[in-house]
Each structure stands twice: as C-alpha cells, then as structure tokens.
A and B are shown apart, each in its own frame.
Chain A
Amino acid sequence: MKYLQSALTILFPVAIVLVIGAAVLLAAGYNPLTVYSDLMTEAFGGQRRIAASLSAATPLIFTGLAAAVAFRVGVFTVGAEGSLYVGALMAAWLGFTLTGLNGWLLAPLCLLAGAAAGMVWMLPPGLMKARLGIDEIVTTLMLNFIAIGLTTWLVNGPLLAPGAANSSTPQVAEAARLTRLMPPSTLTTGFLIALALLVTYAVWQRRRIGGYETLVGGLAPRFARAAGIDMPGLMLRMLLVSGAIAGLGGAIQVLGPIGRFVAGFSTGYGFTGIAVAILARGNPLGILIGAVLFGGLSTAGATIQLFSDVPIEIVNILQGLIMIFAVADFGLRGWFARRTARQTAAEGGQP
C-alpha cells in the first residue's frame, strides 16, 4: 500500500502533464502519440539511449538529494545551484592544476574538494539560520547569484583557458576523468556514486537516529525542541550536508561528461533538483525516478529534433508542467489516509 502510494504520488502528476501536454501538442499541430513514442524511444529505446538518460539524470540525483536532506529538517534551501557551481569549479581547478597525480589519487581528491567547496558555501546561510534565525530561502538564493558571478568571473580571468574564445577553464587531466561505464556513453562512475548516496540516504532516514531527529524536526520543530533535539545545530548540519552533496554533483559533472568548467554549464540543475525532491516527497526511490524522468526528457528533447520537427520549446513546456504539478498534492495523501482509516475501522477498529 505504501509503495503504491509513493508510486501514485509520482505518477499522478506525470499523467496529468501528459494529458495537458497532448492538448498543447495538438494545438501546435503535432500528433501527441507520435511525439510521446518518439520521446520514449529517444529516452529509453536501447542501451545507448538509456545510458544517455541516466547520464543526464546524474546531476539531478545529486541536487534532488541535496534538496531532500535539507527539506527533511524543514530548511527550505534553494542553494544547491550555488554549491554545484563552486564544487564544479573547485574540481576543475584541481583537475587541471595537479596534473602530476595519478588517477587513483586525483579523481577522488577533486571529488572531495568539490564536496568540501559546496559544503563551505552553505556555511554562511547555515550559521545565519541557526544562530540568527535569518530566512534561508533568501540567503541561499542570493548566494546562488554570487556563486555564478564568482565562478564566471574566475573563468573569464585567472582561470581562463589560453586561447579560448568562451569562458571555460582548460581541460582537466585525463587522470581526473571518471571512468565511463558503457563507453562511448558519458555514463560514468559518477552515476554509481549517486546511487550509493541514495542508498545511504535511504538507510539513514529509516534506521539511524539522525533520520528520526530530522523527521521529527521537520514535521514538528517545537516538539523536537521540547524533546531535547538541538534544532539549530541539526539545521546547520543538514544544510552543510546538502551543500556537500550538491558540490559533489558539480564536481562529477566536470570530471564526467564535460571535462572542464564551462560558464553556464548548469541549466539550473539545482532548481530542477528542488522539483525532483518535491515530486519524490523526499523518498529516495522517488528521487531516482524523478531524476531519470527529467534526465530522459532532457536527452530525448535534444535528439528527437534529429528525427522530427518538434521544437525544443515543446519539451521545455512538458518539463515546466511536470515541475508545476510536482508541487501540487492533489489530496492523494488525505485520500490514502481516509481509506486506510476506513479499512482499519472495517477490520475491527484495531489500528
């Protein structure tokens, strides 16, 4: 029942979007069934396309998880984007500077440094929230602009690749690149790291004390405080963890598919991650499904243009619609709760 419920909360908005999207497609003169089946083929039709979709999903797993861990304790951070940027630039900088190191050392070092940079980036808003009660939505949002501005400035000046016409760093050393799982696809070990993090999160939220504390803290902060949980400290810790996860995601994007830091490389992974986390209601499996959904839509949206006249805007509309409906609750939870209550009542009133 529980699995059915979480599956339904994810699939219901998607179904609504498909219906509305069909109307949009019809209005624009396309056959929705053809477009949808083309999108499916481009996203999941065959090994290579699946690999491409999973590769595109990878950064979204990180940002989705980064959002979910903070939301769980009631911290509504929108700062994953900023952490992702600083983590990515940090990894790129080490990756093209420490070219003497071998792969076993360089790649993990770059990843750790990326995570650390993302974590440090969340320290100011974390402290402001924990110590002064300053609203984290504002601080993390503002820090995003600073992160993007700062990294763009750095790759336009001190870290600019010689001879480059656009704002990007030199390529990272070959040793720093993540191993490709199914060459030539850009699916790398970064995806496995993402999965490992998801599993860790799943175990932690159910089995560890921290998982319980954050759950209680998020649902009923005043009760949590009364029960002796250090709420400010907990919020700070979760925000730092969130920053570290996002920073790691940025580092993986640089060491994986791109191979260098390019200004504007993120198309708002941090913000899509928020949609993923909300769509999944913090459920780890849901985050995976949500990320693969958005990742698949993104790859399919690009390559479908090779075979049909569907403009990228249509795909962007579908993506936007899913984000909007992801947030709506549709009263499904209430419906499930009533139904369960009725059933228990029918079965003799024993809860």
Chain B
Amino acid sequence: MSCKTTFVASTALALLLAIPALAEDRPAALIISQSGLGDQSYNDLAYAGFERATGETGIEGRTVESKEVVAQADEILRRASDAGFGLILDLEFAHGEPIAAVAKDYPDINYVILNQEVPGDNIASVVFREQEGSYLAGVLAAQMTTLAGVEGINEQPVLGVIGGTKSAGIDKFIAGFIEGAKSVDPAVDVKVAYSNSFADPAIGMQMANAMFDEGADIVYHIAGGTGIGVIEAAKERGHFAIGVDTDQDGLAPGHVLTSMIKRGDVAVERIVKDYAADAFPRGQTISLGLAEDGVGLSEMEHTRDIIPAEVLARVDAARAGILDGSIKVWDVLSQGTPDYMK
C-alpha cells in the first residue's frame, strides 16, 4: 500500500516537475580482460560486482569475453556503443587508447576503465590505492617474521616479495609493503624479485623456495597465476605466503598469512549503481583505498589463531593512521620509484 502511494506520489512529482526520465535504463556491458572469466581473480571479482549491481538495479547486463580482446578493442567497443548500451565497463588494460578514441564518438554513452586514468568527458577511471593495503601487509609480516614460538617462522628478520613484472603498477604494491615493514622494524630485510610472468606457477615456486633458502619466512606475491606457485611453496616448506587480489587464504589454509584484497567488485558494483541512479561520475577518476573499502586485508580465517592480539592491534593502528592521514604511503604511480627500490 505504502509502496503504491510512494509510486503514485513520485509519478505525480515527476509529471509535475516534467522531469523526463529519472533513472538510466539502457543496458550495461562488461568487457572481460585477456585472462578471461574463471581466473579466480581480477575478472571473476569484477564480474561478481557487475552481477550484484545489475541484479539489484534491474539494469540489463551483458559480458563480452574474447581471446582476441586486445586486437578487437575498437570493434568490440564500437559494436557495444552502436547497440544501444548506455554503460560500457572495460577491464582490459590495453584498451586505454581505444576507449578514449571511441568515447569521443559517442558522447551520450558512459565508459569506465580500470587501473588507469583515461581523460574524457564521458569516461570514468577507477584506480586503486594498493599501496595502502600492502602497507598493512608489511606491518603484519614484519611483526610476525621474528615472532618466537610460531611454527614456520625463523628468527631472521627477512621477508620476500615477488612481483609479476617490473612496472609501476606492480611496484606500487611492493613499495607499500616495504614501507609498512620498515615502519615496524627499520632493520628488516625485504627481498624483491620479479617473475616476468603472471601465469607460471613453477617459476613462482622456484623463486619462493630460493627466498625461503635465504632466510625469508613470509613471501608476498603480486604475480597472478605465478603466485599460486608461491603459495604452494609456502605450504610445502611450512612457511607463509601473502596472497593478492582475492581472498587466497583458503588456497593453503594456515600457510597464507593474509591476502591483500583489491575489491574490483566493489568498484564495479558502485559504478553500475551510480549509473542506474543517473549519477555516473563522468570524467572523474575514482580512487579506492582503505577508506573506501577498495583495498584491505583478508579476515585471516585460518591464521588468526597464530597471530597475537598485539600484532593485530598494531595493524589496526596503521590502518587508522592511513585513514586519518597521519601515515602517508608512498605512491609509485604519482611519486615515482622510491630510492630504496632503485
């Protein structure tokens, strides 16, 4: 009854004010990146957010997946633009320039690109402050690495981090991790290595084993599928890995200390809902960090019992510090590579 009343009232109001259409109802398209759905990471996460948002708002949603997504960038974007879609979200990193070019030709369609800033009136860019979550992982790891009495932990203050490739996008995780670790113990030694592959678990395993041999007991990976090998190595050797992107704690329960989760789903969900409410952030760059729940540590379901309360308290303190601005974490994208990584 009340629902009906509201409906009548709002309809009357809309008619009175002669507002054309309050909400956006054109369908939305999600373009999946090269690694495809089923990657248990970036694409799947974004897709989950897309499904949630389209389900709740009633906006019709379509996903486009293609092995040739890189080569067919223009064709896919233009086809979707011609076909009456009002919102096109693109997860493929190589679509930066194509989306800028296509968006110019379709001023009344809204475009979204992730992990990079693309200028354009009808484009929204979503970037994550991964350095903030990585900082917390560093604070946690640096405290744990010398903790006596925990199985799999040695007395040496040595940590490891394995990046998929030497690039600004990956170094921003690494710099944050190192800063967080050094904030606990300036003498901690963080070994950094790059696997040059995001899809080679065997390499990840070898590199993690090499780090364990050098005295590391916790290794953070930012290497996609290669990182699965890092987690496997931690399980075999009885040490610890730190997961990335999704909650990877369950991949080797008890041997993944925590995961630095990047909430691509939150980002996608929020944008689709904004779009449905006719509040699409046109031309804006949305930066998601700890404050926006865009990044953060996992629940540590399987490791919580071995992590002392005071260690967690210090992680929470660091989190609070970042939130209130008293801790500023280095951002490789805007500040360049810090000296300690050169």
Contact = CB atoms under 8 A, between A and B. Distances in A.
Given A171-B97, A305-B64, A166 B196 contact: no
B115 interface: yes
A156 B194 CA distance: 10
Contacts of A298: 66-68, 72
B94 A262 contact: yes
A157 B164 CA distance: 11
A306 interface: yes
B311 to A, nearest CB: 31
Given A152-B196, A306-B29, A306-B79, A52 B72 contact: yes
A305 B68 contact: no
A56 interface: yes
B93 A165 contact: yes
B121 interface: no
Interface string A58-69: 010000000000
Contacts of A162: 168
A160 interface: yes
A214 interface: no
B206 interface: no
Contacts of A311: 65
Contact of A156 (B70, B168, B196): B196
Contacts of A253: 71
Interface in B28-81: 29, 34, 62-76, 78-80
A167 interface: yes
A204 to B, nearest CB: 29
B85 A164 contact: no
B144 to A, nearest CB: 29
B167 interface: yes
Contacts of B181: none
Given A52-B75, A166-B93, A166-B94, A306 B166 contact: no
A164 B97 CA distance: 13
Contacts of B64: 302-303, 305-306
B34 to A, nearest CB: 6
Nearest to A301: B66
A163 interface: yes
A298 B73 CA distance: 13
B72 A257 contact: yes
Q: How large is the interface on B (under 10, 10 to 19, 20 to 34, 35 or more residues)?
A: 35 or more
A254 to B, nearest CB: 10
Contacts of B71: 56, 59, 253, 257-258, 265, 267
Nearest to B27: A306
Interface string A146-176: 0000001100110010111111100100000
B34 A264 contact: yes
Given A165-B115, A305-B62, A312-B66, A299 B75 contact: yes
Given A156-B165, A156-B166, A306-B83, A168 B94 contact: yes
A247 interface: no
B170 A165 contact: yes
A290 interface: no
B168 A165 contact: yes
Nearest to B94: A262
Nearest to A312: B65
Contacts of B102: 184
A152 B75 contact: no
A282 B105 CA distance: 42
Interface in B186-235: 194, 196-197
A262 B33 CA distance: 13
Nearest to A304: B64
B333 interface: yes
B68 A56 contact: yes
A305 B76 CA distance: 10
A147 B93 CA distance: 23
Contacts of B82: 48
A185 interface: yes
A303 B69 CA distance: 11
A184 B79 CA distance: 11
B165 A185 contact: no
Contacts of B76: 302-303
B116 interface: yes
A104 interface: no
Contact of B165 (A48, A160, A264, A265): A160
A164 B167 CA distance: 6
A49 B83 CA distance: 12
Contact of B72 (A56, A160, A165, A167): A56
Contacts of B152: none
Interface in B146-170: 165-170
A163 B333 contact: yes
Contacts of A257: 71-75
Interface in A234-273: 253, 257-260, 262, 264-265, 267
29 contacts: A48-B79, A49-B79, A55-B75, A156-B194, A156-B196, A157-B166, A160-B167, A163-B167, A163-B169, A165-B169, A166-B93, A166-B165, A167-B167, A171-B97, A184-B74, A186-B75, A257-B74, A260-B94, A265-B70, A298-B66, A298-B68, A299-B75, A302-B69, A305-B63, A305-B64, A306-B80, A306-B85, A307-B62, A312-B67
Interface of A: 42, 48-49, 52, 55-56, 59, 152-153, 156-157, 160, 162-168, 171, 184-186, 253, 257-260, 262, 264-265, 267, 298-299, 301-303, 305-307, 311-312, 316
Given A258-B71, A302-B66, A305-B64, 15 more contacts: A48-B82, A49-B79, A162-B168, A164-B167, A166-B94, A167-B167, A186-B72, A186-B75, A253-B71, A265-B71, A298-B68, A303-B75, A303-B76, A306-B64, A306-B83
Interface of B: 29, 34, 62-76, 78-80, 82-83, 85, 93-94, 97, 101-102, 105, 115-116, 165-170, 194, 196-197, 333
Of all A-B residue pairs in the complex, the 9 with the closest CB atoms, nearest first, are A165-B169, A302-B66, A267-B67, A52-B75, A303-B79, A166-B93, A156-B165, A156-B196, A312-B65
